[in-house]
Amino acid sequence: MNFNQRLDQLLHQQIPTLIATYKSLHAAPELSHYEEMTASLVAKELRSCGYAVTENVGEYEQPEWKGHGVVGLFENGPGPTVLVRTDLDALPIEEKTELPYASTVSVKTADGAQVSVMHACGHDLHATCFLGTARLLTDLRESWSGSVLMVGQPAEETADGANAMLRAGLYERFPLPDYALALHSHAELEAGKVGFTSGYFLASLNSVDVTVRGIGGHGSTPEQTRDPILLAAQIILALQTIVSREISPLDAAVVSVGSIHGGTKYNIIPDEVHLQLTVRSYKEDVRERLLASIERISRGIALAAGVPDELTPVVKVNAAEFAPATYNDPCLSSRLGAVFRETLGEANVVDLPPRMGSEDFGRFGLERKIPTFMFFLGAVDPGRVLASKQGGLALPPLHSSYYAPLAEPTIRTGVKAMTSAVLDLVKK
């Protein structure tokens, strides 16, 4: 029996348990910053296969949030240290998949709102592949030398979980990794396949609040006011010129206004309007230019409309909701791409274009210049993908209430791909 056959045999033995774990995680999702049960399950499973486990790794500025990060360390002789990361949190979405293990969880948030909770981004799938990888690495310990750092990260959806773990001393309390790896489910790629991009893979994320201030009054006498609703409309339109006229067409960038709130009644011109923006880019200089332009345009339009200087818009970049661009180290991408092709077959490894979605996984490599690599894991029934391409029903995207990954063979592929990647980096 060759090594690949042994890997398949060990994985085949695990599949029933992994499918059960996945369904259990899917049925019991937890929101960002509240992943207590999920973290406990991950910690228990890591301990059961021989990892030294540390729980509650994370430090937030908000004292009411506890860090639910989990770190499992398996030291197996001299050699490189590889960090493998999974995310743990779910989303405030009501599940409509009608799966027998669908979530019916509903919780009250800190602000008193009652919300449904669902794993609509595949973090339950990621955690299952993560645990399967952890188990296989210990089963195959005689074939490699080095250390594996399994990191269960909370609060990915709010983009502050990775930073919370780093603030809590992740790289001071545990071995500094030589490589950092992660996977993410893909809502359009067939189960059984993986895909990746060398270089920029996912965009940076900034959330920006703009408070447009004016001078309110009666709707029948607009000349006596400085209407912030009109100003907000002009600002929204002008912001779209940043990407089209200030950023090189060779650089990807997005500025989108996702929320606008202002006013209380038909005939009242309010004093303020609030905008919420999402800003995406790959390059750091482009990100800085986007943010500077948002402030300049907002202020300039207000001044041109006669708003007093002390009432010009307040632009606030939400420091907590920031994620750097995810950059796949080209050398590492080339190396692991070859591993995937050998392990999964040439036809099951796809070159994908970069996307403007965001992740905070990039933080694990940013501060210490650690080579990182994230790949997409196909999670859709191939028949549904084919039907969709031929004009059938559109596939539910990530964050959809109908998102339902095909558990098998997705989990099998994810565990095999990640395990093979780690083994290549720590092989004797």
Active site residues: 89, 156
Strands 69-76 and 81-87: unpaired
Instruction: Answer for the pair 247, 323: CB distance below 8 angstroms, yes or no.
Output: no
- What CA–CA distances, in Å, run from 262 to 227, 228, 307, 336? 11, 8, 17, 50
Element (H, E) at 357: strand 355-358
CB atoms closer than 10 angstroms to residue 390: 7
CB 150 within 8 A of CB 71: yes
CB contact set of 362 (below 8 Å; sequence gap of 6+): 202, 204, 323, 324, 325, 326, 327, 372
Alpha carbon distance 208, 174 (integer Å): 34
376 has which bridge partners?
184, 195
Alpha helices (H) along 174-316: 228-245, 284-304
Helix (H, G, I), strand (E, B) or coil at 410: helix
Distance CA 316, CA 302 (A): 16
Spatial distance between the Cα atoms of 258 and 239, rounded to a whole number of angstroms: 13
Q: Measured between alpha carbons, how far is 428 from 15 in angstroms, rounded to an integer?
A: 27
Angle at 180 between CA 254 and CA 12, to 5 degrees: 110
**Residues facing residue 259 across a β-bridge:** 276
